[in-house]
Amino acid sequence: MKTAIIIGATSGIGKELATRLASDGWVVGAAGRRADRLEELASQFPEGTILTQAIDITSSDATAALDTLLARTGSPDLFLHVSGIGKQNPDLDEKIETNTMETNCTGMVRMVIHFINYVKACGEYSSSRKVHIGVISSVAGTAGIGNAPAYSASKRMQQTYISALVQLSRMKHLPVTFSDIRPGFVATDLLNPNKKYPMTISVDKAARCILNGLNRRKRIICFDWRYRILVFFWKLIPRCIWERLTFVKN
């Protein structure tokens, strides 16, 4: 029986991943701020399948709460950091910008680093039993997006941070492997229900693609061929042209 920890399992992609893994016989440690949502999720499975822990990743108590969850699940095979917030913010509401940075950057670092330090200390992992760490960033991390400055920048930060951790873990021979998961638009509560988004995929399809990529331990999981093509061309656009593309809305 395998074990996964999912930070951000109360809704959307994280909840779908938790449900699928639990249905496939995994024990899942599920976290997020909304304890009622966690309890509801756990109640759908036999006792002991989904173990829950309320965690607010922006709080300094989050690391102690993660330790409590790890004490209950034991050393996991998979650690998924899914938690994130994102809003379009063309009017530059300061609170939105700083909250986004605190959640997507500081919160992600707090959880992932605390977990890696747990891996180093616990003695359960080795070169033949490595833990796999997945972080959900976004295709939005490909370039600075004028309508969502903090969101796009925070997702780019996550991608660079994971890359640094991959290099460091090789240097230090840490028993960890990483996936940077980069969805395009997925139909979840993160999207504004009053807006239309191009090339949106269902949460069901997103979870399937993510689990497929994780199974293959892909370093970068970018799914839906349309997004692969989009990102390929995005990357070719010179900065001086990108910054003049005032019609880019999403």
Ligand X SMILES: NC(=O)c1ccc[n+]([C@@H]2O[C@H](COP(=O)([O-])OP(=O)(O)OC[C@H]3O[C@@H](n4cnc5c(N)ncnc54)[C@H](OP(=O)(O)O)[C@@H]3O)[C@@H](O)[C@H]2O)c1
Interacting residues toward ligand X by CB under 6 A? 8-14, 32-34, 37, 55-58, 82-86, 103, 107, 136, 138, 183, 185-186, 188-191
Tokens standing for residue 120 = 């180093």
Cβ proximity to ligand X: between 103 and 174 the closer is 103
| Alpha-carbon torsion, ordered 62, 175, 159, 10, to 10 deg | -40
Q: How far is the CB of 198 from ligand X (least distance, A)?
A: 11
Q: How far is the CB of 164 from ligand X (least distance, A)?
A: 19
Q: How far is the CB of 83 from ligand X (least distance, A)?
A: 4
Q: What is the DSSP string of 175-236?
A: SEEEEEE----BSSTTS-TTS--TT-B-HHHHHHHHHHHHHTT-SEE--SHHHHHHHHHHHH
d(CA 221, CA 33): 26
Q: How far is the CB of 219 from ligand X (least distance, A)?
A: 17
Q: How far is the CB of 12 from ligand X (least distance, A)?
A: 2
CB atoms within 10 A of CB 75: 15
Q: How far is the CB of 224 from ligand X (least distance, A)?
A: 11
d(CA 82, CA 7): 6
Cβ proximity to ligand X: between 32 and 134 the closer is 32
**Phi/psi of residue 106, nearest 5 degrees:** -60, -45
Strand-pair category, 50-54 with 3-7: unpaired
Cβ proximity to ligand X: between 87 and 130 the closer is 87
**H-run or E-run covering 158:** helix 149-171
Tell me the CA end-to-end span of the chain in Å, nearest whole number: 41
